[in-house]
Amino acid sequence: MGRQSDGFEDEREEELRRRERAQRYARARREKERQLRRRRLLRVCLAGALCLAAVIGAVTVIARAVGKKSGGAGAQKAQAETAFGESVRDVRTGDEADASGETGAAYRASGAAGYSAADITGYDVAEGAEDGASGGMGNSGGAGNASGGTENASGDTASGSGGAGNLTGSAAAAGQGGGTDGGSGSTGGAPEQSGIVRVGDAEFLAGFTAQETEDTHGVDPEQVTSTYALLIDESTNEIVAEQNAHEIINPASMTKILTVLVAAEQVKDLDEKVAVTIEATDYAFSHDCSTAGFAADEQVPVRDLFYGTVLPSGADAAVALAIHAAGSQEAFVELMNEKLEELGLSATAHFTNCVGLYDEAHHCTVYDMAMILKAAVENDFCREVLSAHTYTTAQTEAHPEGILLSNWFLRRIEDKDTGGEVLCAKTGFVNQSGNCAASYQVTDSGRPYICVTADAHSSWRCIYDHVAMYSLYAE
């Protein structure tokens, strides 16, 4: 009996264990089914939200278009891409520029794919240096051959014809000259007449001040994410829209706009051959800057240094240009600060280097940068350089086929709906100022505008902030 009783108890315990296992399995299965139902419900909700956002975006575009036609007060120009659409694009591209290498370790850590270090011209690598630090579509170290386009927008070997004077024209005709000053071409600005400065086909109101009016807009933060933003109508010198326009920032590589402006006022012969000193190449290397790709002691035309400074935001070109123009970078920086004083900006603007490296004493406001860009755009040669989408440097022993340089901001914004054509641009990045850019556009109606933004969270977002500023507030 004892043995039978023991066997019965064992069977009973085994049965209880089987039931417990079955109950645990059933509970786990029910929990899994609940999770699946929750996921399905979440997907349905997300799909509904996307559809609703798309409908709202379409209604917003239609409403703006209707408001624009009716001439209602405060109506804004319809924007092809709503804030939702732009956000989706940023997600779809994985903020491609964040992985372009343009900011060294900081950006390489972002994990998004697509572009190399020179994809966005003028974005500084690491502590204020710039794109072009490595491989891919951009400049690659010493070789510096920037790919991503086959057109050569500037005749790099053309010389001024007939004793050329002031250089005019677009990036497609670099080196062609006019006038009678003699030499191979100076870099003087456009003449001023009766308070009007002729800039290409546009007309600027003279002067380097701009005023807010009762019609000045505050910037819509849902459309423009940059912390600092400014749009100026250069035909009236009126601030059309602004946000924190007079707060101090570090201008990063937007600095190079002033670099080429001051150099253009010092250089007399753009075709003179000069050596890119080891001081210039070492400066770029030691500060982890982007480069145009010139080799140490390479003999290049001065003209190429201008394009190398702007398009790939090359520190090697900028320092070489400064040394050629003033004898040293320190002496050149003195000229830069004298120019800021001449423009009436010295109260808030002061530069310590010609590249845009971060320094507490290297600063300005986006308003100051707008005035600097205006002065550069009024200079024929600077406008030519800032408007070049691509440029091939002269053939040398170090670079038998020259170096192909690209302004990626211009190349990426050219197919966006800004209500006109963005003609000139220079970008920048340091951690302290985020992604920033200064650009010049002439609208379809012929009005000239300058836009400056700073502290965008990505290089693509910076581009779309300029698209939004132009399309929302320009006429």
pLDDT tens column, 457-474 = 999 999 999 999 999 999
Task: State the DSSP H helix or E strand holding residue 449, giving kind and residue range, or none if neither.
Answer: strand 448-456
User: What superfamily in CATH does domain 171-473 come from?
Assistant: DD-peptidase/beta-lactamase superfamily (3.40.710.10)
pLDDT surpasses 80 at 93: no
Return the higher-pLDDT residue of 365 and 199: 365
What is the DSSP code string of 9-23? HHHHHHHHHHHHHHH
pLDDT surpasses 60 at 115: no
Q: Tell me, what DSSP letter sits at residue 394?
A: P
Percent of the chain with pLDDT over 90: 56
Q: Where are the beta strands (DSSP E) in 160-314?
A: 192-193, 196-199, 202-205, 211-218, 228-233, 238-243, 273-275, 299-301
Predicted pLDDT of residue 66? 65
Is 87 in the active site? no
451 CB contacts (<8 Å, ≥6 apart)?
A: 229, 230, 231, 232, 370, 438, 439, 440, 441, 466, 469, 470
Is 313 in the active site? yes
Reported confidence tier of residue 46, pLDDT bands at 50, 70, 90: confident
Predicted pLDDT of residue 26? 65
Between CA 350 and CA 333 the distance in angstroms is 9
**pLDDT by residue (tens digit) across 370-390?**
999 999 999 999 999 999 999
pLDDT surpasses 90 at 452: yes
Residue closest to 171 by CA, chosen among 197, 200, 138, 148? 200
pLDDT surpasses 80 at 402: yes
Between CA 469 and CA 459 the distance in angstroms is 16
pLDDT surpasses 50 at 312: yes
Predicted pLDDT of residue 261? 98
Predicted pLDDT of residue 76? 45
Reported confidence tier of residue 51, pLDDT bands at 50, 70, 90: confident
The domain ranges of the chain are: 171-473
Predicted pLDDT of residue 397? 94
Between CA 9 and CA 394 the distance in angstroms is 97
**pLDDT by residue (tens digit) across 421-448?**
999 999 999 888 899 999 999 999 999 9
Q: What angle do CA 125, 99, 365 make, to 5 degrees?
A: 45
Q: What angle do CA 117, 121, 124 make, to 5 degrees?
A: 65
Contact 351, 333 (CB under 8 A): yes
Q: Which stretches of 396-458 are DSSP H helices?
A: 408-413
Among 100, 226, 313, 459, the active-site one is: 313
pLDDT surpasses 70 at 279: yes
Predicted pLDDT of residue 13? 67
pLDDT surpasses 60 at 89: no
- Copy the structure tokens of residue 450: 């300058």
pLDDT surpasses 60 at 74: no
Reported confidence tier of residue 412, pLDDT bands at 50, 70, 90: very high
**pLDDT by residue (tens digit) across 186-223?**
344 444 445 999 898 899 999 999 999 999 999 999 99
Q: What is the mean pLDDT of the chain?
A: 76
Return the higher-pLDDT residue of 61 and 103: 61
Contact 454, 122 (CB under 8 A): no
Q: Which residues pair with 205 in a beta bridge?
A: 196
Neighbouring C-beta atoms of residue 14, cutoff 10 Å? 10
What is the DSSP code string of 50-100? HHHHHHHHHHHHHHHHHHHHHT-TT-----SS-HHHHHHHHHHHTSGGGGS
Among 256, 339, 374, 426, the active-site one is: 256
Predicted pLDDT of residue 54? 81
**Of 9-23, 139-153, 405-419, the least confident:** 139-153
The residue count for the chain:
475
Residue closest to 248 by CA, chosen among 71, 366, 400, 88? 366
Among 184, 253, 459, 471, the active-site one is: 253
